[in-house]
Amino acid sequence: MFALNRKTNKRYYEDPSLWECIGRVVKVDANHVELDSTVAYPEGGGQDADHGTLTLPDGIQIRFNHARKMYGNRARIPDFPDIQVDGIIEHVVHEDDVPQLALLTEGMAVVVCIDRLRRARLSLSHTASHLLYLGVANVRPDAIAATLGCHIRPDAARFDFGIAARFTSEEVLEIERFANAMVQRASPVRVYAHSQIPDARYWECEGNVIPCGGTHICSTEAIGPMQVTRKSLGKGKERLAATFNEAIFDLRSQNSLNR
């Protein structure tokens, strides 16, 4: 298996309140840049990637509208999902700014700055997705083992399940009630790293622990009333989606308790 002898310093794990940092150019390709450090969270675990800018020493800005993690290694942690750790992060540049990549040189220091509101929305959405998941585990535990995937967007979160018995309207309502009860309790959220592997991380709320490397808010309260809807994806496939139209996107709400 191909492996690199370098890895990107993931500053979003060191300090989740950090919106910008200095990164040095490691490699420039046709449409993306690799830096030695970044605050940009790459697409992964169902969560969409951060967007932002790279500011050069002369003030010129290069926009990136995607970030992706490449060349990771299998964590191989017992009782933990089979995830990729380490690896590098590539910042995929907006197509209109690709010509400006010629201005970058190896070792150049640039300022990486992310879209703060987008990150706040994604962090809230990811926390809301766990409340939805816990609601499903409480009402339809059989569906948890049949989880097909999830998608965390700035405005919504959803899970897909491979189950023969469809979610009834009563079950959907009960899942929504369960999630909203956690919101109403304004429960604190804690995110922390595995004792030996920093890239393997956990989300914890009200004693519930879920392996998760995404970004989150520090309390369920900001989510506001959640609306849960069901959609059939065909025989044996169900989707539950959560929206949160009254959410409070506080740019200071990143979890200061991350470790």
pLDDT in tens, 165-216: 999 999 999 999 999 999 999 999 999 999 989 999 999 999 999 999 999 9
- Report the C-alpha gap between 137 and 132 in whole angstroms: 9
CB 231 within 8 Å of CB 243: no
Given this model, what pLDDT does residue 1 score? Answer: 45
**pLDDT, mean of residues 215-220:** 96
- Report the C-alpha gap between 147 and 208 in whole angstroms: 18
For 181, the 3-state DSSP assignment is: helix
Given this model, what pLDDT does residue 3 score? Answer: 55
- Report the C-alpha gap between 188 and 168 in whole angstroms: 31
- Asked if pLDDT for residue 49 goes beyond 90, the answer is yes
Given this model, what pLDDT does residue 41 score? Answer: 98
Higher pLDDT, 143 or 258: 143
Higher pLDDT, 84 or 211: 211
For 128, the 3-state DSSP assignment is: helix
**pLDDT, mean of residues 69-91:** 88
**pLDDT, mean of residues 70-84:** 84
How far CA 100 is from CA of 30, 32, 59, 64, in Å, comes to: 11, 11, 12, 12
16 pLDDT tier (thresholds 50, 70, 90): confident
- Asked if pLDDT for residue 253 goes beyond 60, the answer is no
Given this model, what pLDDT does residue 4 score? Answer: 67
Given this model, what pLDDT does residue 75 score? Answer: 82
Given this model, what pLDDT does residue 252 score? Answer: 58
DSSP alpha helices (H): ranges in the chain? 11-14, 116-139, 141-144, 169-184
**pLDDT, mean of residues 34-38:** 98
Predicted confidence (pLDDT) per residue in 114-124, tens digit:
999 999 999 99
The proportion of the chain whose per-residue pLDDT surpasses 90, expressed as a percent, equals 85
- Report the C-alpha gap between 94 and 102 in whole angstroms: 14
Higher pLDDT, 204 or 250: 204
73 pLDDT tier (thresholds 50, 70, 90): confident
Given this model, what pLDDT does residue 33 score? Answer: 98
What integer best gives the mean pLDDT of the chain?
93
Helix orientation angle between 169-184 and 116-139, rounded to the nearest 10 degrees: 120
Identify the structural domains of the chain with CATH numbers, from first to last. 9-114 (2.40.30.130), 118-243 (3.30.980.10)
